[in-house]
Amino acid sequence: MDGIGKTLLAAGHKTNYHEVGVGEALFLLHGSGPGVSGWTNWSKTMSAFSDKWRVIVPDIAGFGFTEFLEGTKYDIKLWVNHLIGIMDALDIAKASFVGNSFGGAVAIGLAVFAPERVDKLILLGTPAGEFVQTAGLRGAWEYEPSLENMRQLMELFPYDQSLITPELVKSRYEASARPGAQEALRKLIPQPAAEGETIVKGFPVAALAKITAPTLVVHGREDRVVPPECGLLIAKNVPNADLHLFGCCGHWVQSEQPRRFASLVRDFLSE
């Protein structure tokens, strides 16, 4: 099945991951949402870095084909410990991290709580500060598994709708329909308020200011899942940060601008 790779044990979770290439370690961290996994986010991007880096693409605890353990509190502390456990299992002392959306938040957590494990950070469409829950995030919580519902939800993510192929919809739907998958997701993202606005909270400014790693912030100008203002907030408050805003681009920067994204990241990592 697409998405199933190697297995290791980290933070008590049987962890699914993919690995290609040799060189300095580079982690590609997926976002959240129904049917998400490291493979669905990064399968077409991994090869863009595997000539020079040891690329590791894990399914974060509770997502994809990594275990979801009933009774476990899933929060940033657990996800950071899970990431450290993966690094330890693979004998990696320090790595660079490309974090997509939720994966970017996990990478920030690692950079704040275990800065000695982080070389460089690349944050794509990453939440920070406080913002009103978007249609994309609300839809992810309210989603009920079906092909039609998956297609409608995915329409909120990219600017270029041609990226939403029947194959991608089918793949995401099948993963989202696994027993317990949607119930697990709902424990990991804020439940929309019955009335009025729902406020989503990411890392505050005080935490961002503690990041010592060189950081590249990348965001799509038309992102309808995580507002571009979050990217600007990160870039303004991380001491050593640059910001690249892609025009005519939504939440899937790595898929919508694959060549320019890969070039930007390769240059940043090679500096």
Q: What angle do CA 268, 161, 3 make, to 5 degrees?
A: 65
101 in catalytic set? yes
Q: How far apart are CA 23 and CA 33, in angstroms?
A: 31
Annotated catalytic residue: which of 37, 59, 223, 244? 223
Residue whose entry in the numeric block shows the structure tokens 């309210």: 142
Looking from the CA of 252 toward its CB, the CA atoms found within 13 Å total 22
Residues 56 and 18: beta-carbon distance below 8 Å? yes
Which residue in 104, 42, 103 sits closest to 235, CA to CA? 104
Annotated catalytic residue: which of 18, 30, 219, 251? 251
88 in catalytic set? no
Instruction: Determine how many CB atoms are found less than 10 A away from the CB of residue 188.
Output: 19
Q: How far apart are CA 14 and CA 60, in angstroms?
A: 10
82 in catalytic set? no
Which residues contact residue 37 at a Cβ distance below 8 angstroms, ignoring those fewer than 6 apart?
A: 3, 16, 30, 59, 63, 64, 65, 175
Annotated catalytic residue: which of 37, 101, 176, 255? 101
By DSSP bridging, strand 241-246 and strand 215-220 are parallel
Residues 157 and 254: beta-carbon distance below 8 Å? no
Residue whose entry in the numeric block shows the structure tokens 């961002």: 208
Q: Which residues are catalytic?
A: 101, 223, 251
